[in-house]
């Protein structure tokens, strides 16, 4: 796509849109939760560095057969391959936790603040993958009549367009819905991210891109689910109580973590 004299890939535009939306949220919500803009800047650089480093390492490991023959390409994510999503989440979460420890900030407050931003970036990445053909859905040449509404023509990484399960778009919509929920319901950031990762684990059953297998199941199914369970366990350990109020139709999260409570007071 041309923007005046410049050419930008649709993938870049979608991911960039998710990043800008996430930064806007963070810049507005951060000061309300007692984070200064200088702290937010340092946090963003730290998280971005960890996510990019571990995400790229995960992609190289998943495609080791190619990179053992072309080792220099491992340092060129902008032109050869990209990032591994699970590695990106792991790197970002680890970097955020390290920053919270060094800055003497409650780690739950930091991760809760970052959750909507991370989910907005994930939504942009999902739409970007739908345009670029990465993480594509399985072919759907013969499906029952009641499932045809869910099928759309889409490319794979080799630009072969055919009816597929639109797993990228489904993941993007799921991420966007959870980002909105995380903005509205405080202290549930890890719950929202865990729900997103659990949803991605379910979507792997309809993905068509090749990955290592464990028996008859995709390895990324187990990785997504393991990370989701780990985040839910961390939120439970932090003292969160998930309750459904009687007579009302909403779920609320109440954290008794003192550091989180003090940081998020307005």
Task: Record the pTM.
Answer: 0.87
What tokens does 26 get? 């963070």
User: How far is residue 25's CA from residue 47's CA, in Å, rounded to a whole number?
Assistant: 16
DSSP 80: S
Eight-class DSSP state of 144: -
DSSP state of 142: S
Q: How far apart are CA 32 and CA 53, in angstroms?
A: 30
Q: Are 194 and 253 in contact (CB under 8 A)?
A: no
What φ, ψ does residue 67 adopt, rounded to 5°?
Answer: -75, -20
Matching residue, tokens 């870049």: 12
What are the pLDDT tens digits along the chain (266 aa)? Answer: 545 555 557 888 899 999 999 999 999 999 999 999 999 999 999 999 999 999 999 999 988 888 999 888 898 887 777 889 999 999 999 999 999 999 999 999 999 999 999 999 999 999 999 988 999 999 998 888 887 888 999 999 888 999 999 999 999 999 999 999 999 987 788 999 999 999 999 999 999 999 889 989 999 999 999 999 999 998 888 765 443 333 343 445 654 444 444 444 44
User: Looking up tokens 């995380």, which residue turns up?
Assistant: 182
Which burial class, exposed, middle or buried, applies to 16 when counting CB atoms under 10 A from its CB (0-12, 13-18, 19+)? middle
Between CA 236 and CA 191 the distance in angstroms is 9
């Amino acid at each position: 796509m041309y923007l005046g004299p410049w050419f930008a890939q649709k993938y870049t535009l979608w991911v960039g849109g998710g990043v800008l939306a996430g930064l806007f949220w963070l810049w507005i919500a951060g000061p309300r939760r007692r984070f200064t803009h200088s702290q937010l800047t340092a946090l963003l650089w730290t998280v971005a560095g960890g996510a990019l480093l571990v995400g790229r390492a995960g992609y190289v490991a998943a495609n080791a057969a190619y990179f053992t023959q072309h080792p220099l390409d491992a340092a060129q994510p902008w032109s050869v391959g990209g990032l591994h999503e699970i590695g990106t989440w792991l790197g970002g979460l680890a970097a955020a936790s390290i920053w919270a420890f060094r800055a003497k900030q409650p780690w739950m407050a930091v991760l809760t603040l970052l959750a909507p931003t991370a989910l907005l970036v994930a939504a942009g990445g999902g739409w970007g993958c739908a345009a670029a053909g990465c993480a594509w859905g399985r072919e759907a040449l013969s499906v029952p009549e009641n499932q045809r509404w869910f099928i759309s023509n889409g490319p794979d990484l080799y630009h072969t367009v055919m009816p597929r399960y639109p797993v990228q778009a489904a993941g993007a919509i799921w991420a966007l819905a959870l980002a909105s929920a995380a903005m509205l319901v405080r202290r549930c950031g890890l719950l929202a991210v865990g729900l997103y990762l659990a949803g991605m684990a379910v979507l792997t059953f309809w993905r068509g891109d090749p990955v290592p297998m464990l028996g008859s199941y995709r390895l990324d199914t187990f990785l997504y689910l393991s990370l989701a369970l780990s985040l839910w366990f961390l939120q439970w350990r932090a003292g969160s109580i998930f309750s459904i109020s009687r007579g009302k139709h909403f779920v609320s999260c109440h954290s008794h973590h003192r550091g989180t409570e003090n940081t998020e007071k307005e």
